[in-house]
Amino acid sequence: MRWEPITKPRQIRNVAPNMPDYAKAYAEFSWDKARAQLDGLPGRRGLNIAHEAIDRHAAGARRGHLALRWLGRHGEVRDFSYADLHLLTNRFANVLRKLGVGKGERVFLLAGRIPELYVSAIGAIKNGSVFCPLFSAFGPEPIRQRIGIGDGRVLVTTVALYKRKVAELRASLPSLRHVLLIGSEQQIREIPDAHDFGQLMNEADSRFEIAPTDPEDLALLHFTSGTTGTPKGAMHVHQAVVAHHMTGYYALDFHPDDVFWCTADPGWITGTSYGIIAPLTHGITSIIDESDFDAERWYGILQDQKVTVWYTAPTAVRMMMKVGTEVIAKYDLSRLRFIASVGEPLNPEAVVWGQKAFGLPIHDNWWQTETGGIMIANYASMDIRPGSMGRPLPGIEAAIVRQKAGAVEVVTDSGVEGELALKPGWPSMFRGYLHEEARYRKCFAGGWYLTGDLARCDADGYFWFVGRADDVIKSSGHLIGPFEVESILLEHPAVAEAGVIGKPDEVAGEVVKAFVSLKSSFSPDEQLRRDLLGFTRKRLGAAVAPKEIDFVANVPKTRSGKIMRRLLKARELGLPEGDVSTLEGA
């Protein structure tokens, strides 16, 4: 079916978009001009994300402006002005300094969306340390791997998460010097070798001067997954903030009076780049909701908090579509001006549904952990072609490429599928995978960064997502490496071989599905299936563990022993098996 383009008005709810003319903005853009929108550390001492996000506002007219409003699970509300965040993040930076945690050292955060997470993230960056988030729905194994690879020096977490997920790992994490626990004094006292976060914060000085920071100093470490191997720690530097700020302006259309709500969890990069940094650099108000998705709760938040700009994800949009539009009519969402979505393909139906449900289309945009910020987007002023990810941000050169005999060829014909590639050089580009130079190098060819996504570009420069070029799985917007799941399955005594795929799912995009063959002394039955589901869930956590497990006689492999996940997927979906000449035993 062909979808009609959605034509945009000049103003939306009486607000003129920041980018009235895409072609002009793209032609006139320079990163130097974007950098000039930020202050830099006083006395020309460099560029630090925490200064741009908090301190410069706390020292100026925005000091009393609401920076974060936190909505607790049970109706609690806590407000933080820029001045409040300035003092709190100073305190946390002093906590780290006092513990002897310095520049470049990794501070891991494992928590739900609670205020301490936001304070610690920015406080760590302020101290010159590196903020590294862990998703609170990870099980012990993904946590162990990431802290291990990242040489985590500090972990900030809650007592409950520590007891459930970290206590058992502690001995296997020699780099981890300090565990800071959020919880009651009494609970913390019972845990050996842990600090009381609240107590350290109370004792800390609220004055702190950020040390000189080179724009190329490491600030953020975000883990992502590939088809094979361990998780990869994508390294980001302080000057990424130039891209965070600029994309907030152009792609999310931030205006000074905006109330912004990014529903992504800070355990993933969207929740950091846009759930923490970008709105703060603009001095606007962000809403943080501790709870998980609930359609009515969400509409209540949009109404009561007078949200103007909302950044969410396709899975959430699809869940809202299931609930229907009738319920939305009960809420006054007249303040809402701009809705954007990221993380997985946004179906054209969902874009158009937004128009019916909210009177606003949903603006798809594209980026990934490695790019650090939005790269391709549908803008407030630009007509939407439903199903398209939009056009590259000013300062970003994107192309469709094909690799032929080792060379990279740019596809100039419109509509032809190839790999989406970006010309390196924007400030939030990752600077490497920690300790994995070879894997980093493999991402580049012929002067291009290769994204691992397949896409096409139409004659007007709109990009259209086609699929992944590899086997990584996107479930509810979260990237999952099949190899990590297969490795845990192989640790179960009954499992001989395992192959893991993403099975298409109407709501989550994909769900993790595993195929296992058993050792000869085990036979497949319902009890064993349940046992395996429970085993993987306990080790990997609900966000990563398979939702379905099928028993198979053999997991198809190439003659060189590589699991043929594409074949498993084709069989699962009843599709043609394609070229199976390399199949073992073929």
Q: Contact with ligand AMP (CB under 6 A): which of 123, 343, 372, 392? A: 343
Tell me if 381 contacts ligand AMP by CB under 6 A: no
Helix (H) or strand (E) holding 533: helix 526-540
Per CB under 6 A, 386 contacts ligand AMP:
no
Q: Quick one: 432 exposed, middle or buried, by C-beta within 10 A (0-12, 13-18, 19+)? A: middle
Would you say 183 or 226 has its CB closer to ligand AMP? 226
The least CB distance from residue 210 to ligand AMP, in Å, is: 29
Q: Which of 338, 465, 515, 535 binds ligand AMP (CB under 6 A)?
A: 465
479 binds ligand AMP (CB under 6 A): yes
For residue 368, the minimal CB distance to ligand AMP (Å) is 3
CB of 422 to ligand AMP, least distance (A): 11
Sequential DSSP letters for 77-99: EEEEEHHHHHHHHHHHHHHHHHT
Answer yes or no whether residue 372 interacts with ligand AMP by CB under 6 A.
Answer: no
- Residue 83 sits at φ, ψ, to 5 deg, of -65, -40
Closest CB 377 distance from ligand AMP, rounded Å: 9
Among 453, 486, 497, 510, binds ligand AMP (CB under 6 A): 453
Give least dist CB 127 to ligand AMP, A.
26
Of 48, 368, 378, 536, the one binding ligand AMP by CB under 6 A? 368
d(CA 397, CA 195): 47
Spell out, one character per residue from 189 to 228, where the chain touches ligand AMP: x when CB under 6 A holds, - when not: -----------------------------------x----
Q: Measured on CA atoms in the order 347, 352, 358, 364, is the torsion positive or negative?
A: positive
- Among the residue ranges 12-20, 139-147, 197-205, 451-459, the one whose residues contact ligand AMP (CB under 6 A): 451-459
**Which two three-digit tokens encode residue 343?**
């993380």
In 3D space, the residue among 56, 37, 36 whose CA is nearest the CA of residue 210 turns out to be 56
Per CB under 6 A, the segment of 74-82, 259-267, 364-372, 393-401 that binds ligand AMP is 364-372
Q: Does residue 55 bind ligand AMP (CB under 6 A)?
A: no
CB 42 to ligand AMP: min, Å: 34
DSSP sequence for 252-312: S---TT-EEEE-S-TTSHHHHIIIIIHHHHTT-EEEEE-S---HHHHHHHHHHTT--EEEE
Segment interacting with ligand AMP (CB under 6 A) among 324-332, 336-344, 434-442, 556-564: 336-344
For ligand AMP, the closer CB: 298 or 430: 430
Residue type, 316: A
Q: Is 467 left (phi over 0), alpha (psi -120 to 50) or beta?
A: left
Q: Give the burial class of 27: count Cβ atoms within 10 A of its Cβ; 0-12 exposed, 13-18 middle, 19 or more buried.
A: exposed
Question: Residue 222 Cβ, how far from ligand AMP at the closest point, in Å?
Answer: 8
- Residues 467-491, buried b or exposed e (16+ Cβ, 10 A)? ebbebbbbbbbbbbbbbbbbbbbee
Binding to ligand AMP by residue 345, rule CB under 6 A? yes
- Token reading at 296: 């009515």
Position 468 contacts ligand AMP (CB under 6 A) = yes
Instruction: Point out which span in 124-132, 141-149, 361-369, 399-407 binds ligand AMP (CB under 6 A).
Output: 361-369
State which of positions 94-123 bind ligand AMP (CB under 6 A): none
**Which CB sits closer to ligand AMP, 80 or 448?**
448
Near ligand AMP in 253-272, by CB under 6 A? 269
If one asks whether residue 366 binds ligand AMP (CB under 6 A), the answer comes out as yes
User: How many residues can be counted in the chain?
Assistant: 586
- The C-alpha atoms of residue 106 and residue 55 are separated, in whole angstroms, by 22
| For the chain, counts of helices (H) and of strands (E) | 20, 27
- Please report how close the Cβ of residue 96 comes to ligand AMP at its closest, in angstroms: 28
What is the closest distance, in whole angstroms, from the C-beta atom of residue 465 to ligand AMP in the complex? 4
E strands within 73-193?
Answer: 77-81, 106-110, 130-134, 154-158, 178-182
- Rg of the chain on CA atoms, in Å: 24
Q: Within 10 A of 443 (CB to CB), how many other CB atoms are there?
A: 18
Point out which span in 6-14, 86-94, 339-347, 398-406 binds ligand AMP (CB under 6 A): 339-347
Q: Which stretch binds ligand AMP (CB under 6 A): 162-170, 363-371, 435-443, 546-554?
A: 363-371
Measured from the CB atom, the residue of 239 and 369 that comes closer to ligand AMP is: 369
226/504 Cα distance (integer angstroms): 19
CB of 215 to ligand AMP, least distance (A): 23
Residue ranges in contact with ligand AMP by CB under 6 A: 224, 269, 342-346, 364-366, 368-369, 389, 451-453, 465, 468, 474, 479
